[in-house]
Amino acid sequence: MLKLKLHRNKLGLGLASRATATTTTTHGNHYQYLQNSKLPTLYFQRSLPRLPIPLLEKSCERFLAAVQPLLSEAELQQTQQQLEQFRQGIGMELHAKLKLQDAANKHTSYISEPWFDMYLADRAPLPLNYNPLLVMKPDERPQYQQQVARATNLIISSLRFWRSLQAHKLEPEVFHMQPKKSDTASYRRWMSIAPKAFATYASYAFKAFPLDMSQYDKLFGTARIPGLGKDELVQSPKSKHILVMRRGNMYAMNVLDSSGYIHSPSVILGRLRAIMELDAQRDAASVPLGVLTAAQRDVWARARAHFVSNGTNAQLLEQEVDAALFCVCLDSEQDGGYDEANPTPLLHHLLAGKATNRWFDKSISLLISADGTAAINFEHSWGDGVAVLRYFNELYKDTLQSPFVSASTPHTSAEGDKQNVRVLNFEVDAQTADAVQAAYAENARIVDSLDMQQLRYGKLNKGTCKQHKLSPDSVIQLSFQLAYRQAFQRYVGSYESCSTSAFKHGRTETMRPCTNATKQFCEAILRPSNQQPSANELRAMIDKCSSVHGQLTKEAAMGQGFDRHLFALRRIAQTEGLPLPAVYECDAYKRLNHNIISTSTLGSDALLAGSFGPVVSNGLGIGYSIQNAFAGAIVTSYKNQAEGKVFIDSLESAFDKICAVIEQSAKSN
């Protein structure tokens, strides 16, 4: 403990002096770039394999297996007949068309364009429906946790990440199966002499799997622009400013100089402090325009079309807001802070909240609470968790190890610097004010209906799983199935996201965690105690669940799921004006895709908490993680439509039951 304290003190003093020293060396690589990889960032991109299209027969088999736990015997037989008709009829025609289309577009994957279109065409509001939340662990040193200091360091680290990415100096994204053997200098030397056309396959020999990085360039300078019927993504990668929001007021702040270099820490700190001072002299925004980004997309599209009919507004919106590299939302004391004993009020606020100090259309928004709690709320259409989590982890690591400013760091004054700190004074008429008021009321109605529950379960953690040779993810997913079954006496459509980024332009695939194996275990353990199988038999059933879960995960990650394949076939029918095949209208397909249990694992040492909204009105949105000290879950639901509190209580009971089986089985062996 003494060594740790000494190390922290030494670190703190060193960094405090560094903050002033860097002002004269800000054009050096050490400041301008987060990384200086020996392998260029996109080194493996050319040689990534293409996402395979599964065999139609296999997709039909997998669909039938996934839906079986949800159906009666009669329903299953009917579904089997419909599926067979599809496989031998229109399905073959659609599959052939998909194969031809894929062969004509070898630069991408068969799912990439349809998936973008699916996101951009959905008219649902972004908060709760799409934009997720990742909350960062705090910096335990008060001088770096202070709001403006933390915001400054997060901005600088974000820019260092962005500059590294643009200069191809960011380490390529590689999943290392055996990091001690492959995440090494020797591996990188071997890779550097491998021909680019075969580099990915050379990496496989080290059990290191390069991942697609095509989404990374949309992390910054990207905005989703609302349109009637479908939105579009616009990107301004050469921007030199960020958008800063405070109490609904909006500011553009330059962070890069005319040559594209990151301004010195004292300059960025000074400009943020100037914004805080400016804002203290103003009222909170009477018409907080950001609320419109929380509206239903067609509503926002119509409001925006009217708003930009004013030339001043159009210029400010397009050049300062849409084109900003990212958004920084500095929340006020009234918005609260993180309370470990009761974190849900702040998480609720950060996930959706009042929307008065947000611009949900930006690819990335950094949210900084008054107490320095930092979070990322991101627009989802442009990319998936792999890119965002990499950015999130690098950000946390860099600000923890190499913060450039503290609460006491002197700053370069930006008072009166209207060129680099620009107040965005929009011209708001009565029609826009009414649109904001209506959007605020509708968002408040939806957000107020959101219930959020949290569980931290100490008996189940990484150590427990390792000790008992358990797959952490499969055990938690089994717990969700047991919790729902014992609380609501049924099995429902369940969704676990799995990345397919091992392939060029891969997105995600669905892993269906409700299986015959999980159903058999749940039924067995819920019998009266005198009718239950032995602990060893139940443990064998847990292992069977884990085996099935592992196989399904492997299939999904290797592009051998069925959800995206069936989705793409349906889109072919729709785009070519063909009748929708009957299998898509059958009860089994609808039941499986009504994802009442929607889950996402949030595995990161940088993560304090993560959350997202339910994907259906009567569903549960479950963000979960298993850490060194506990297994945790944050469950969202809509009041009077799903019972989140009942589920979370049942989940604790499910954990108890499964842990008891594991312990009893271990004792008897």
| Beta-carbon-side half-sphere exposure of residue 429 (alpha carbons within 13 Å) | 10
Which of 637, 155, 135 is closest to 338 using CA atoms?
135
φ, ψ dihedrals at 225, nearest 5°: -105, 125
Q: Output the six-digit token pair for 430.
A: 């009565």
Provide the Cα torsion 178, 182, 185, 191; round to 10°: -170
Other CB atoms within a 10 A radius of the CB of residue 656 amount to 14
**3-state SS, residue 175:** strand
Which of 145, 136, 165 is closest to 35 using CA atoms?
165
411 counts as catalytic = no
> 3-class secondary structure for 70-84?
HCCHHHHHHHHHHHH
Q: Which amino acid is at 514?
A: C
Longest CA–CA span in the chain (Å) reads 79
Whole-number Å distance between alpha carbons of 348 and 128? 10
Provide the Cα torsion 79, 494, 385, 552; round to 10°: -60
> 3-class secondary structure for 439-450?
HHHHHHHHHHCE
Whole-number Å distance between alpha carbons of 103 and 50? 11
> 3-class secondary structure for 538-602?
HHHHHHHHHHHHHHHHHHHHCCCCCHHHHHHHHHHHHHCCCCCCHHHCCHHHHHHHCCCEEEEEC
Whole-number Å distance between alpha carbons of 322 and 58? 44
Active-site entry in 176, 380, 468, 594: 380
Task: Tell me the CA distances in angstroms from 482 to 376, 513, 602, one per residue in order.
Answer: 32, 11, 21
For residues 480 and 597, is the Cβ–Cβ distance under 8 A? yes
For residues 242 and 250, is the Cβ–Cβ distance under 8 A? no
How close are the terminal C-alpha atoms of the chain, in Å?
38
Residue position matching structure tokens 């998480």: 347
Whole-number Å distance between alpha carbons of 529 and 534? 10
Provide the Cα torsion 437, 440, 445, 447; round to 10°: 180
Whether the CA torsion 610, 613, 614, 618 is positive or negative: it is positive
Distance of CA 608 to the CA centre of its chain: 14
Catalytically annotated residues:
380
